[in-house]
């Protein structure tokens, strides 16, 4: 089941033990389940060279042929969903209950969707009197994908599928925390018929990512990561005028009005804070609750959170697993301490569990105010902040008082207000009476400091291709002299 080497380059697994060893830890036990090696300069070179040499031939295929390979890969992923989900659970610690429905399956959706539109990519014709012009949609070349550790399979495919559909090739670097699953995506693409070099995966920390971004052969970089890393990678791409997509962090508002359906609003808040142990970029971590529903909301929220089944993520009954690493757990604990010291009221959880592995209780703070650190900074752990509000105008301006703008939601029975509020929120992805559903058919990405560009949907095609315009003169050319 596990990948057989650290890297996947030019259509095959590749090992170079000269690279820094990177132990892969199962977060539920702390056990080392695999060991990979960071890419040496020779591996980086091999990956970029193979992506470069495969690109022209790949782009020359008919779109329908590229699409067929992607759709075949989607079918293989679905057939092996159980095996891939188990690997994702080992890599990330996320409950198998989640990985079975949200990881390999969403990678398959992306491959199927972009496989389906590969044949219909094209330009336009413009009639200009007797002359005319047309546009061609052409690939960018070699694209670099860099992933975060929370959705390793999904991120590998959300970047790879549109890139390959458009005739690009890719070198993907997973997070050093979760190196295994992207290798399986590469292996399956080759099994589905992708030519060698079309999709390569190499391991390493930030410096490997930096080497890929800075290489002149790289035409585009797509990063999923923190806002801080995004600024560095975007600047490095800009220095060589490269295309860039930045999917970064958030501190998103989830606004619950008095007239909201109580159980749906509580479900929304749970999904927006505790799924994947809170390690989701689009999470609604600032839960604004109108005063009339506050008591009932907090009562049901704590009752239902107490029912979370915290346990071994390999057990299908578990619905709340460990965090990805000791480091991320420590960051989360330090934010909980800040919440307490700044006066937020802890109403549930707050403690590391007394068992092996990176376990922390789902944690809820009430009476959080806008100035508190936990209301301002992305925690990326299972810490929900509940803030009070009275009026729509007040909550909209407070919701927007952040440098980030990835997502947001409103729960209300008043549809006019729902649309008015989501129109006023500065964020890329908004939900009405729902949270965190991100099907491949809809664009996903952030405003403000949460990023640039969009993943998924037809829009992603514009981020993995460019237009070439051809003007066709049909008459003799006249000149002034």
Residues lying near ligand NDP in the complex (CB under 6 A)? 146-150, 173, 175-176, 205-206, 209-210, 213, 223-226, 229, 232-233, 247-250, 281, 378, 380, 406, 446, 451
Separation of alpha carbons 41 and 367, rounded Å = 51
Measured from the CB atom, is 48 or 118 closer to ligand NDP? 48
Q: How far is the CB of 248 from ligand NDP (least distance, A)?
A: 5
Q: How far is the CB of 209 from ligand NDP (least distance, A)?
A: 2
Measured from the CB atom, is 55 or 245 closer to ligand NDP? 245
Which is catalytic among the residues 143, 166, 181, 281? 281
Is 420 buried (19+), middle (13-18) or exposed (0-12) by CB count in 10 A? middle
Which is catalytic among the residues 98, 112, 247, 361? 247
Measured from the CB atom, is 147 or 160 closer to ligand NDP? 147
Q: How far is the CB of 216 from ligand NDP (least distance, A)?
A: 16
Distances (CA, A) of 450 to 175, 176, 196: 19, 22, 34
Separation of alpha carbons 381 and 348, rounded Å = 14
Instruction: Give yes or no for a contact between 22 and 35, defined as CB atoms under 8 angstroms apart.
Output: yes
Measured from the CB atom, is 112 or 378 closer to ligand NDP? 378
358 is catalytic: no
Measured from the CB atom, is 54 or 379 closer to ligand NDP? 379
Count of C-beta atoms within a 10 Å radius of residue 426? 16
Separation of alpha carbons 188 and 81, rounded Å = 12
Measured from the CB atom, is 73 or 323 closer to ligand NDP? 323
Which is catalytic among the residues 159, 173, 184, 220? 159
Q: How far is the CB of 299 from ligand NDP (least distance, A)?
A: 30
Q: How far is the CB of 153 from ligand NDP (least distance, A)?
A: 13
Q: How far is the CB of 251 from ligand NDP (least distance, A)?
A: 9
Which is catalytic among the residues 86, 88, 112, 455? 455
Tell which residue, 253, 250, 251, has the closest CA to residue 399.
Answer: 253
Nearest to ligand NDP by Cβ — which residue? 209
* Per-residue b or e along 8-26, where b marks 16 or more CB atoms closer than 10 Å to that residue's CB: bbbbeebebeebeebebbb
Is 122 buried (19+), middle (13-18) or exposed (0-12) by CB count in 10 A? exposed
Measured from the CB atom, is 218 or 224 closer to ligand NDP? 224
Measured from the CB atom, is 151 or 389 closer to ligand NDP? 151
263 is catalytic: no
Q: How far is the CB of 211 from ligand NDP (least distance, A)?
A: 8
Q: How far is the CB of 454 from ligand NDP (least distance, A)?
A: 10
Measured from the CB atom, is 305 or 407 closer to ligand NDP? 407
281 is catalytic: yes
Instruction: Give yes or no for a contact between 238 and 452, defined as CB atoms under 8 angstroms apart.
Output: no
159 is catalytic: yes
Q: Report CA torsion sign: 289, 293, 299, 300.
A: negative
Q: How far is the CB of 200 from ligand NDP (least distance, A)?
A: 15
Separation of alpha carbons 59 and 134, rounded Å = 19
Rg (CA), the chain: 23
Active-site residue list: 159, 247, 281, 455
């Amino acid at each position: 089941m596990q990948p057989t080497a650290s890297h996947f380059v030019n259509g095959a697994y590749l090992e170079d033990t000269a690279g820094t060893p990177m132990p892969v830890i199962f977060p539920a036990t702390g056990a080392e389940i695999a060991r990979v090696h960071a890419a040496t300069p020779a591996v980086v070179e091999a990956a970029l060279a193979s992506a470069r040499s495969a690109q022209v031939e790949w782009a020359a295929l008919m779109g329908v042929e590229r699409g067929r390979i992607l759709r075949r890969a989607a079918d293989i992923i679905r057939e092996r969903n159980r095996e891939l989900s188990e690997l994702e659970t080992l890599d990330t610690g996320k409950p198998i209950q989640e990985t079975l429905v949200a990881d390999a399956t969403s990678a398959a959706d992306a491959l199927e969707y972009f496989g389906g539109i590969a044949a219909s990519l094209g330009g336009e014709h413009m009639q200009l009197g007797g002359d005319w012009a047309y546009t061609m949609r052409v690939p960018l070349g070699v694209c670099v994908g860099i992933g975060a550790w929370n959705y390793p399979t999904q991120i590998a495919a959300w970047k790879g599928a549109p890139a390959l559909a458009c005739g690009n090739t890719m070198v993907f670097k997973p997070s050093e925390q979760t190196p295994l699953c992207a290798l399986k995506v590469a292996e399956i693409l080759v099994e589905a018929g992708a030519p060698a070099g079309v999709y390569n995966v190499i391991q390493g920390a930030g410096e490997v990512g930096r080497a890929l971004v800075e290489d002149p052969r790289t035409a585009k970089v797509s990063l999923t990561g923190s806002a801080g890393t995004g600024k560095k990678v975007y600047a490095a791409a800009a220095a060589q005028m490269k295309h860039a997509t930045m999917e970064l962090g958030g501190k998103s508002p989830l606004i619950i009005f008095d007239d909201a359906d109580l159980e749906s609003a509580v479900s929304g808040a749970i999904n927006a804070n505790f799924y994947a142990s809170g390690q989701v970029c689009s999470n609604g971590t600032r839960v604004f609750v109108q005063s009339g529903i506050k008591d009932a909301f907090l009562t049901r929220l704590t009752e239902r959170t107490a029912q979370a089944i915290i346990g071994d993520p390999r057990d299908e009954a578990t619905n709340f697993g460990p965090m990805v690493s000791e480091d991320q757990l420590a960051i989360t604990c330090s934010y909980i301490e800040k919440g307490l010291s700044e006066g937020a009221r802890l109403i549930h959880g707050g403690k590391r569990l007394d068992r092996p592995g990176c376990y922390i209780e789902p944690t809820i703070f009430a009476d959080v105010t806008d100035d508190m650190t936990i209301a301002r900074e992305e925690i990326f752990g299972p810490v929900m902040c509940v803030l009070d509000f009275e009026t729509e105008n007040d909550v909209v301006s407070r919701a927007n008082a952040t440098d980030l703008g990835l997502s947001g939601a409103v729960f209300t029975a008043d549809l006019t207000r729902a649309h008015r509020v989501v129109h006023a929120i500065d964020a890329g992805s908004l939900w009405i009476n729902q949270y965190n559903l991100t099907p491949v058919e809809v664009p996903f990405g952030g405003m403000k400091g949460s990023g640039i560009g969009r993943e998924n949907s037809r829009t992603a095609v514009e981020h993995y291709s460019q237009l070439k315009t051809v003007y066709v003169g049909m008459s003799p050319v006249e000149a002034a002299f």
